[in-house]
Amino acid sequence: MAMNPKPALPVRKSEGSKPVQRPQDVRRVNRASVLELLRERPCSRSELAQMLGLSKPALGDLIGDLLEQNLLLEDTPTPVQRGRYPAPLRINPRRFCVLGLDLSVDNCEAGLYNPLGEPLEILQTFSGVGQGAHEVYRRLLRASREVLSKASMPVAAVGVAAPGPINFEQGQILAPPHFPDLHNMYLVEQLQRDLGLPVYLEHDSAAVARQYLGSTPAENFIYILLHRGIGAGIVIGRQIYRGQHGFAGELGHVSIDIDGEPCPCGNRGCLENIAGTTAIELRYGRLTRTGLELSAIAALAHSGDPVAQLAFEQAGRALGWAAVNLVNLFDPELLVLGGPGAAHADLLIPSLRHHLNTRAYPYLGWGEHLPIEVDTLPKPVGIGAAEYALGAVYRGEIPLPLWERGSA
């Protein structure tokens, strides 16, 4: 199916790309900073003021609002040797929750998460791929409603992560090559209408990078999501980089072999047709004339099967070529591998590392000294979608649901 034929897409700037000038913008940034710090551990007012560089009146006004909204709780003061006892502040874990949706090719995951990002309820179901847009959306909506019915606290927002490319301005999934059922789907409008909640749409690779921010102090890193498709969540200055039209990070459609096999995206020799999880399965199947799933091929590779090892080695080599380009373009301080394919990262990294060492400015040692981490979460996308919605609440972009005074 052809991509939406509109001549041009509205420009959506990256988060943090505009200078903060208006007082309400400054307040939103400070509010989010307070909540992010308190998410890590309870802190006193004086600790927050010192860490954020805010005056006591400015911080006091902000804390007062958050206490009034019951988003913060004030614990019993902690005894100290001299002076007044500082009263620790903490986030109220029962103030609200968000719905995080992972709309991937194979499965749909719906989960409820509290203000600390902790999962409360998770439901997984078949996505309905190949059965048409109506059926895919029906399954997503049914899973969402089933999970929402189990919420024990007010629901503030919905975060949904999907394969790209995505038109963020219009809340539209454009033309994911492996999920044609989603082509030209105005998902945000439909979900907001049917769920009655604010909906935030995110690219799946950006979502996983967003959730990994809580696991690393790195300012600039790239998260490579390994699945049937391959995406790159690009983080610059701890902000997601989207590019001019929101299409940044489509790493799977970088051409590794200009004369290679055609890809559904319209290009040839795309990375995900060589290094994606399905590509590894197909490569092994062509060489052995058998049909095995990725986990079974990995088990054979670990047991010494040379054909299984070759299937992963070739995928790792292609990832290495792509990683060299990423390193030369962005100079990140960290690469992260995540998603289903990362469960077998030990079979991919040796070849990937070899090409980084020998091709990414070897005389400077860029590739050789670049850390590579593996995200061990088996399903990080839904968590990342929830983080996107949580961020909107933290910044005060949407009003909190009503609560009864005296409730926890």
CA distance 34 to 392: 14
Residue 216: the pLDDT is 95
Residue 23: the pLDDT is 63
20 sits in which H/E element? none
Q: Cβ neighbours of residue 366 under 8 Å, at least 6 residues apart?
A: 327, 328, 331, 356, 360
Pairing of β 119-126 and β 107-113 = antiparallel
Residue 5: the pLDDT is 38
Residue 369: the pLDDT is 87
Which of 157, 197, 153 is closest to 403 using CA atoms?
153
Neighbours of 37 (CB within 10 A): 16
Which of 336, 335, 278 is closest to 311 using CA atoms?
278
Return the DSSP state at 208. Answer: H
Return the DSSP state at 77. Answer: P
Which of 98, 182, 198, 109 is closest to 382 using CA atoms?
109
Residue 280: the pLDDT is 97
Which of 289, 293, 269 is closest to 281 using CA atoms?
293
Asked if 98 and 389 touch (Cβ cutoff 8 Å), the reply is yes
Tokens, residue 41? 């551990």
Per-residue pLDDT of the chain (408 residues; tens, 9 = 90+): 333 333 333 333 334 444 445 666 788 888 989 999 999 899 988 889 889 888 888 888 889 999 999 999 988 776 655 656 678 999 999 999 999 999 999 899 999 999 999 999 999 999 999 999 999 999 999 999 999 999 999 999 999 999 999 999 999 999 999 999 999 999 999 999 999 999 999 999 999 999 999 999 999 999 999 999 999 999 999 999 999 888 999 999 999 988 888 988 889 999 999 999 999 999 999 999 999 999 999 999 999 999 999 999 999 999 999 999 999 999 999 999 999 999 999 999 999 999 999 988 877 777 788 999 999 999 999 999 999 999 999 998 988 887 655 455
Please state at what angle helix 277-288 crosses helix 294-302, rounded to 10 degrees: 70
CA distance 186 to 257: 34
Q: Cβ neighbours of residue 7 under 8 Å, at least 6 residues apart?
A: none
Tokens, residue 67? 């206490």
CA distance 154 to 196: 13
Question: Both ends of the chain: CA-CA distance in Å?
Answer: 51
Enumerate the H helices of 160-276 as residue ranges.
187-195, 204-212, 272-275
Which of 10, 106, 90, 112 is closest to 43 using CA atoms?
90
Residue whose token pair is 């490319």? 165
Residue 368: the pLDDT is 83
Q: How far is CA 322 from CA 325, 353, 366, in A?
A: 5, 12, 15
Residue 121: the pLDDT is 96
Which sign, positive or negative, has the C-alpha torsion 47, 52, 53, 58?
negative
Residue 75: the pLDDT is 81
Pairing of β 107-113 and β 97-103 = antiparallel
To the nearest 10°, the Cα dihedral for 303, 379, 173, 97?
180
Q: Could you give the domains of the chain? A: 23-91 (1.10.10.10), 97-209+381-394 (3.30.420.40), 218-374 (3.30.420.40)
Residue 21: the pLDDT is 54
Asked if 270 and 255 touch (Cβ cutoff 8 Å), the reply is yes
